[in-house]
Chain A
Amino acid sequence: MSTVSTQHGAAEPAAPQSNYLTNGNTIASWLLTTDHKRIALLYLVSITVFFTVGAWAASMIRLELMVPKGTLMENDTYNKIFTMHGVVMVFFFLIPMIPATLGNFLIPMMIGARDLAFPRLNLLSWYVYVAAGVLAVIAMLTGGVDTGWTFYTPYSSIYSNSQVGLTIGAAFLAGFSSIFTAINFIVTIHKMRAPGLTWFRLPLFVWGHYATSVVIILGTPVIAITLLMLAGERVLKLGFFSPELGGDPVLFQHLFWFYSHPAVYIMILPAFSVMSELITCFSRRKIFGYSFIAFSSLAIGGLGFLVWGHHLFVSGQSMYQGMVFSIISFLVAVPSAIKIFNWATTIYKGSVRFNTPMFYAIGFMGLFLIGGLTGLYLSSMATDIHLHDTYFVVAHFHYVMVGGAVMAMLGGVHFWWPKMTGRMYADSWGKLSATIIFVGFNLTFLPQFVLGYLGMPRRYHYYHFAPEFQVWHVMSSAGSSILAVGYAMPLFYLLWSLKRGPKVGPNPWAAKGLEWQTASPPPTFNFETTPVVTEEAYEYDPEADEEVTTEVERIAAGDLPHGR
């Protein structure tokens, strides 16, 4: 069982079998599909589109900051560009990124179900997401927003003369989309596991998504109502947050971060869960400390709701409040560290194979470590007073959210690509792209830590008061172009593989897990027969696996002919 699948036979054409991709070729069959796998692909495409939009804005920012005087654009334009970057990247890329694509595709397969519990709700959630995204883009095109993605009052509610209403409407809708997905996941994981699949046999991917879904249903409604209150204040002049209307702006910050801090866990918990799958498969070893990893996800989810105040150290909250938030923030680092240590131990004792997904996984560990550790500087009140709203913060959250979450996403896409498409890409190109991203990323964001430490404020489009910053900004901008190349590469070789990549059997990586037990690409209802699970997750056998040659390695060695 732990060996490769041998069903592969390019020579004798297998009986043409219908799968989820070939089952209906019309546009309507895609746009009206209720198949979770097709919906996942719809998401994958739309998320890539929004990533491109956000990345364009990012490159404008980096271009502007190449010179101290900021000559490319006006103050106002710059504000709109970085707001657009933040809104699109956070609400339309990072938050749905892994759950809506990989989660949607894999959760039913990993638990042996035929689909999610509510397939039509799943489709609705994609439409709501797209509608929200279109609304956001319309807001950008009809004047833009200049409040920053945090929409702080009273600027956003009274003073800003831009498309605030439309934009928060878009964010509000996007929230509905993620709530729908989360409810679907929770119900599916609770009620639709295959016979024998107990909670402690679940893949850690499923645990991570379960914890994420809980965070979503507890957190997202809070941002929804907060944005609605902001709209009420802006449109109807109800007073909640603005001193002019009798309210208190710090209340807005509390409510905003009560969601938005957990939101960073909505982005990173799915990434963690992908990591656990990658690390075990490519170390050929049962994961070290399964239950610690499972429970640390829940712990992160729970503690994540108690630390929002670390964004308010300089907002005027009391010193004692700050101290409490500071201490709890340190506590969250513990479950994250548990995960890192457990992965490291798994790799250390395993027999590691360096394929593309593993390159991405190791990149993740490096970048997330830097991001997580710098979080500790920010949660110490004393240092945060110096670092708050500087480029140090910018670098910190890019390391965790972009360096961490996006690395994991790409690793996951490369891992499950043969499952999704039935085809393999060129492993060497994959490794190259992972390396370029890693180098480009560090060149972009390490200098920003220095800049922040030196005092470069965020959200400024010039720094003629300190021209000596320029060298760091230029390094960062140069890094971002390398990064852009790295991010663009997979687009090309993955699309290439759709047509020209070698065909693969059900389990090209010789991995464990139910999703590898069915054909690649899977049939519409995932399994020919309902699977019964009789063992724990990740029963790899490192010694026996020394000799295993995976299908991917045979393809790389030219052993298997390329598919047509």
Chain B
Amino acid sequence: MAVEAIAEHTEQGHADGVFHQFESIEQQNESYIVGMWSFLVTEVMFFGPLFFAYLLYRWQFQPQFYLVHKELNVALGGLNTVILLFSSFAVAMAVHFAQKKARQKQLLWLGLTLACAFGFLIVKYFEWAHKFHVGHVPGPGFRWEAAGEAGVVPAGIAELFFSLYFGMTGLHGLHVVIGIICIGTLMLLTARKSKLVESYIPTEMVGLYWHFVDLVWIFLFPLFYLMPQ
């Protein structure tokens, strides 16, 4: 007999907070963590081709890309890096306090994370607005008559650079927006003491996601802004 019966299982006979398909809270928590990591793998693969495209063209048009990248604002990019690094710390604190069940402190650190996320977008707005202003936006209106060294670069290659810049920072920005929605929802539910966020797992999930968003920027910043000759 391959199978023998143990443990009578009644469909609803579960401890609070454990969904019917799971045997125990440990199993449930571990499942969520494995699920989240699998999802993050898909996110890595999602950004992968853009990085691949960037590296390919950068290798192909190395000197031109170097000249074009000088049009980016390193100070603003650096500021955003600092903001995101701090937010990563903040969300880690939020997870820590969620585990300790210190709701007030958890909310505080989540709030700081959220503020950083908005801060990042605001800085990004100023950066992008400037690009629109000077016509460094791919498309029919693209202008490339910048003086000096940058003028040496053919407009097509400059446009390629800005395509990658807008494509990659745009996609990253979209992830920041999604992060804002997740953090906001989490804060709302936590403040209302919803049953859904009783355990620390949802906070941990949001934290993992936010670390990922941060990590992508950690790669984007040097590639676009600091790129050496």
Contacts and interface: CB of A to CB of B under 8 A. Distances in A.
Nearest to A176: B42
Nearest to A120: B19
Interface in A157-215: 179, 182-184, 186-188, 190-192, 195
Interface stretch (A236-244, A385-393, A487-495): A236-244
A106 to B, nearest CB: 15
Contacts of A319: none
Contacts of A530: 5-7, 9, 23
A119 B50 contact: no
Given A246-B156, A246-B159, A218 B45 contact: yes
B160 A186 contact: no
Interface in A218-232: 218-222, 224-226, 228-229, 232
Contact of A246 (B3, B30, B41, B157): B157
Given A239-B163, A517-B3, A114 B46 contact: no
Contact of A239 (B20, B38, B50, B160): B160
B228 interface: no
Contacts of A251: 53, 56
B160 A245 contact: yes
A157 B30 CA distance: 43
A188 B46 CA distance: 23
The range of chain B's interface size is 35 or more
B150 to A, nearest CB: 16
B45 A217 contact: yes
Q: State the main secondary structure of chain B at its contact with A.
A: helix
A217 B38 contact: yes
A539 interface: yes
A190 B140 CA distance: 51
B207 to A, nearest CB: 19
A217 B160 contact: no
Contacts of A1: 1-2
B50 A118 contact: no
B104 interface: no
B41 A539 contact: no
A192 B18 CA distance: 14
A303 B11 CA distance: 43
B10 to A, nearest CB: 10
A219 B23 CA distance: 32
B6 A240 contact: no
B39 interface: yes
A20 to B, nearest CB: 13
B166 A238 contact: yes
Given A183-B35, A238-B167, A529 B6 contact: yes
A117 interface: yes
Contacts of A140: none
A247 interface: yes
A217 B41 contact: yes
Interface string A310-321: 000000000000
A113 B23 CA distance: 9
Contact of B21 (A113, A240, A531, A535): A113
A370 interface: no
Contacts of B138: 236-239, 245
B116 to A, nearest CB: 26
A187 B31 contact: yes
Contacts of A525: 9, 11, 20
B139 interface: yes
Interface string A511-545: 01010010000001101111111110001000000
B4 interface: yes
Contact of A117 (B21, B48, B52): B21
Contacts of A108: 21
B47 interface: yes
B203 to A, nearest CB: 18
Given A114-B21, A183-B35, A238-B166, A219 B7 contact: no
A529 B9 contact: yes
B35 A240 contact: no
A220 B6 CA distance: 40
B75 interface: no
Contacts of A535: 2
B88 to A, nearest CB: 23
Contacts of B7: 529-530
B35 A245 contact: no
A255 interface: yes
A240 B34 contact: no
Contacts of A532: 3-6
A246 B163 contact: yes
Contact of B49 (A119, A195, A229, A528): A229
Contacts of A531: 3-5
Nearest to A180: B39
B43 A221 contact: yes
A384 interface: no
Contacts of A192: 21-22, 27, 31
23 contacts: A108-B21, A114-B20, A117-B35, A182-B38, A183-B35, A187-B35, A187-B38, A192-B31, A217-B38, A217-B42, A220-B42, A220-B45, A221-B46, A221-B48, A225-B48, A236-B139, A238-B138, A246-B157, A246-B160, A525-B9, A530-B9, A532-B4, A533-B3
Interface of B: 1-9, 11, 19-23, 27, 30-31, 34-35, 38-39, 41-50, 52-53, 56-57, 138-140, 156-157, 159-160, 163-164, 166-167, 171
Given A217-B38, A221-B43, A514-B3, 17 more contacts: A115-B20, A182-B38, A188-B31, A190-B31, A219-B45, A221-B45, A221-B48, A226-B49, A229-B167, A232-B163, A237-B139, A240-B164, A245-B163, A251-B53, A517-B3, A531-B5, A532-B3
Interface of A: 1, 108, 113-119, 179, 182-184, 186-188, 190-192, 195, 217-222, 224-226, 228-229, 232, 236-240, 245-248, 251, 255, 258, 512, 514, 517, 524-525, 527-535, 539
